[in-house]
A and B are shown apart, each in its own frame.
Chain A
Amino acid sequence: MSGFARARVAFTVLAAQLQDRPERLLVTIGAIALGIALSVSVTLVNASAADEFGRASRALTGSADLVIDGGRGGFDEALYPSVARRPEVTVASPVLETELALAAGGTLMVLGVDPFLAGRLEPAIYGDLASHFTGLLGARAIVLSAAAATTLNVGRGGTLRVRLGREERLLEVIDVLPSSAYPRPLGVMDLGSAQWTLLRLGRLSRLELRLAPGVDPARFGASLALPAGALIARGTDLEGRGASLRRAYYANLDMLALVALLTGGFLVFATQALSTLRRRAQFALLRALGVTRAEVTLAVVLEGALVGLAGGILGTALGWVIAREALARFGGDLGAGYAAGPGTPLAAPATTLVAFVALGVLVSALSSWLPARRVAALAPARALKGGDPEFALATSSGGRRGAGLLIAGGAIAFAPPLGGLPLAGYLSIALLLFGAVLLVPSFARLVLAHLPTRVGPIGRLALAQLQGTVAESAVSLAAIVVSFSLMVSMAIMVHSFRDSFERWLGGVLPADVYLRVAPGSDTVLLSDADGRDIAAIPGVERAELRRVLPVLLAPDRPAVALIARRLDAVSVDRLPLLERASATPADLPAVYVSEAVHDLYRVGIGSRLTLPVGGQGRAVVVAGIWRDYARSSGTILIEQGTYRAWSHDVASTDAALWLKSGASAALVGAELTRRLKLGASLELIETSDLKARSLTAFDRAFTITYLLEAIAVAIGLAGVGFAFASTALARRAEFGVLRHLGCSARQLKRLLAGEGALVGALGALYGLLVGGLLSLVLVYVVNRQSFHWSLDFVVPVGQLLLVALALVLAAATTARLAARGVLGTSAVRAAREDW
């Protein structure tokens, strides 16, 4: 008979036990399913948001070999014929991209294209347009994407009211694209009409090129003489631009996915490990009956894999449902306000789903294998007597390995980002966490040895029991430590962020009222005359106008916000500066860059930078680095006078207003509306409102974080309950003896609650320490590399202590409840059975 056949016999024996106690099997499968579901749902939400983003940008420029990109500022259309004439170019499609202000408020991205040329490059979007050729020639004709038609509530034949400066115009919607053409809101016009109607005569945003076969895009790109502000990009660069912006937004969710994966994986581990440990007498019997060590191990692993398969399938299905519901209700950013709203379609590739089922099988099999190896190696003579195997966590080599992982995790935290992602930071967190888990027994022994022993007989008993079973308690302790420390680290990061953000808001908003016009739009701007009107309003003490415009500094990165504003000594002093030049070189204009510019473009104090302004590259020098929580892709401040001299652009996008003391903001607002005639495009907000609104948005963005953290901790507690329930069964005889010796049932309950509280307290204490360590990585590595801004490290001491206390109470209650079934008379009888 083959070893495998014997392992199968052993397996059927184990399986029979599971059938005999189906509730235990269900708990194990349920725990695995919960862990997997948590990871699956977060991952799918993330992937769906990424997928929608990717599809949108791929649809726009994905099949161009090369793009000459002028960003939002664009370049002169004279470039077009000179490039199109080159023999290497088969198709050159000129595009004007405009953020069009809508009369009802908000903006719409409108592309001006040549329908024939564009249709040859991106037939998926523009293929249908050729049939509207004549219709599209109308100066006010526009075709909308299905998403735009839905959000703007207009259909074919309807009209769209838009704002150009102080005037409103009507565009005619001549058709709506099928929803398969493009997933997000978009308008398409004829290039000439767009340039004419949207007041962008002679300008292009980009040229999309198809090259002749055999032409090397890089070499061809290098051969072109381009105006300042235009960059050579690959079609895929433009996708990467969106992705890098989105990636930062989702760093938080990525972290949560990691939390979910680790907590879920650890729950699987704890349940399987305990279920294996609990049945060691059965394994020993099988050994006595002549099943080899390898065969017992194989049987256990097989069982673990099957249980993992069931849990994996169930969990993946559950996670899929949760993700679909979350996307339908909250959208791809779960309501944080970064991405398009509700209704992001669920992207659930079969490979991802299969991978998660496989993960369930793998983690579960592995979690059975580690303790099974110990149990099988244990002298069967001892196991038959119910002796304790040295559990993997509790060995001295485990301690050494734990210390090694901690050191490795700490060292890796210093590695630079990989492909713009804080992967090393995440790896560091995982290593630190696993190292900390391996050190749980050492920590427990250390603390337990130093606890006061004058605590009454029941207290001493609880202490002795824990000291005697560090190996088993280590598993439930580790379950708490993993979930609680992750929660602590997230809480510290979010608190640090919120605290820094709040102080920053106080500093960067010195004025009383802020005014913006159609934020992000290219078609509504404030003129100097508007500025004078504003300043003339009674009640306005002073108005300061600013121009914000996006400039492209690298082909594969999102545009940096160039802000032209007054930068005298006083206003520079008010900036949240982190570093400042002692003396700026007098020969070049000074700029103040945000941390993101410093990180992404590797510039520091004194670095020279070339900015594309007014069609030319202009040299500037970095005189300071400041903190900007408003934009993670970078901000550059430049003196307004310098900018105007270079660009001859005297328009502004927003204004800060200081009011006379006693002036009513509401009255000033009404007067502004009347004088500026900008309709819904005028946005006014008082500083106090702006602060409150920003903080509310902040809190909403992190609601999902708190929710998932709570779930993670609940799962950790479930692990504790499970551990106590299973050891309580094994301890029936012990309880029986205690009853024989004169312990009351109430005392036994106190004993269990005491043990639970002790485990909870140990977990909370250790979790606080480990969480503090992880939060350093989160704040200084993950946050910095994702968002490119720094945080002040602030620990919410009171909040953490409160949660720790709740954890201790919950652990005590859980432990007591878990054991209630074995404290009655059956325990008294149990004593006679085996001793």
Chain B
Amino acid sequence: MTAVLSVRGLTRRFTPDRPPVLEGLSFALQAGEYVAIMGESGVGKSTLLNLIAGLDRPEEGSIELDGRELTRLDDDALTLERRRSMGFVFQAFHVLPYLSVARNVALPLELLGWPAAEREARVNAMLAEVGLADSAARLPRELSGGELQRVAIARALAHRPRLLLADEPTGNLDPGTAAQVLRLLKTQVAAQGGAGILITHSRAAAATADRAFMLDGHSLTPLAVAG
């Protein structure tokens, strides 16, 4: 099996007088794998995701995506990687409030220059997958939190990214809705053929992944929660 993502010796230090948040962290993610990363608040989970996404830069270490080294790329090249190969789901949804549900989902495709017809087909398909086929024309303000996160999932996966990065996607949802969203996330990552990282601090959430790890700043320790 080839690694989709391979992280080696990753170190990120925000303030010189404090120990680094991440130090010498290494791990690999295989194609089609969907893993959960847990950890206490402030341990550096979001920092790790930001580094992988190229939204932040490490002091040391390497990050390879499909064998391409990311840390040496300039900002524009990193942007291109994000646009083509990654999808994001945030805790606070970040669904643009002034765009329709369909336009929100279409956004990555527009940026990739998909022709309108293909784009429309793909958006409709994704909305159907997340159970929002009837909501294409609605505005985010008419949607509930769970629905908003489903829009975000559809947007994150619309362009079939190699890697999905979800940072506490259920932190703002009630347990029932959260369970639905997590299930959807897992099935969709598998259905769209990518790998995924789910950041969470809930054991129940972590249990939906194929494997789960505990982050302590230096290493990822496997956890026996997956089911």
Contact = CB atoms under 8 A, between A and B. Distances in A.
Interface in B42-58: 46, 50, 53, 55-56
B159 to A, nearest CB: 9
Contact of B79 (A16, A21, A281, A290): A290
Interface string A464-477: 00000000000000
Contacts of B110: 9
Interface string A21-32: 100000000000
Main secondary structure of the interface of A (DSSP, over half): helix
Contact of A282 (B80, B86, B96): B96
A578 interface: no
B108 interface: yes
Interface in B83-136: 83-84, 86, 88, 90, 92, 94, 96-99, 103, 107-108, 110-113
A321 B80 CA distance: 50
Contacts of A17: 96, 98
A288 B82 contact: yes
Contacts of B90: 384
B138 to A, nearest CB: 14
A291 B103 contact: no
A803 to B, nearest CB: 41
Contact of B76 (A1, A10, A293, A833): A293
Interface string A798-823: 00000000000000000000000000
Contact of A13 (B53, B75, B99, B113): B99
Contacts of A282: 96
Given A13-B107, A381-B56, A289 B98 contact: no
Given A1-B113, A9-B110, A289 B56 contact: no
A383 B96 CA distance: 15
Contacts of A381: 46, 50, 53, 55-56
Contacts, number: 75
Interface-central residue, B96, B99, B113, by most chain A CB under 10 Å: B96
A428 B51 CA distance: 48
Nearest to A295: B79
A290 B84 contact: yes
A294 interface: yes
A292 B56 contact: no
Nearest to B97: A20
Contacts of B56: 379, 381
A287 interface: yes
B55 A16 contact: no
Interface string A1-22: 1000110011001001101110
Interface residues of B, number: 30
B76 A292 contact: yes
A289 B108 contact: yes
A5 B94 contact: no
A188 to B, nearest CB: 70
A689 interface: no
A604 interface: no
Given A293-B75, A384-B90, A9 B98 contact: no
Given A288-B82, A290-B80, A384 B113 contact: no
B88 A288 contact: yes
A291 B79 contact: yes
A183 interface: no
Given A289-B82, A289-B83, A381-B55, A6 B98 contact: no
Nearest to B109: A9
A281 B98 CA distance: 13
Interface in B25-46: 46
Contacts of A9: 107, 110-111
B108 A290 contact: yes
Contacts of B98: 16-17, 19-21
A74 interface: no
A501 to B, nearest CB: 58
Interface-central residue, A9, A289, A294, by most chain B CB under 10 Å: A289
Interface-central residue, A21, A380, A834, by most chain B CB under 10 Å: A380
A285 interface: yes
Interface of B: 46, 50, 53, 55-56, 75-76, 79-84, 86, 88, 90, 92, 94, 96-99, 103, 107-108, 110-113, 172
21 contacts: A5-B113, A6-B111, A13-B96, A13-B99, A20-B98, A281-B94, A282-B96, A287-B79, A288-B53, A288-B55, A289-B83, A289-B111, A290-B79, A291-B79, A292-B75, A292-B79, A292-B80, A293-B76, A293-B79, A381-B46, A381-B56
Interface of A: 1, 5-6, 9-10, 13, 16-17, 19-21, 281-282, 285, 287-294, 379-381, 384, 833-834
Given A290-B80, A379-B50, A833-B172, 9 more contacts: A281-B94, A288-B53, A288-B82, A288-B88, A291-B83, A291-B111, A292-B79, A381-B50, A384-B55
Closest 8 CB pairs of A and B: A290-B83, A1-B113, A20-B98, A381-B50, A381-B55, A292-B79, A290-B82, A17-B98
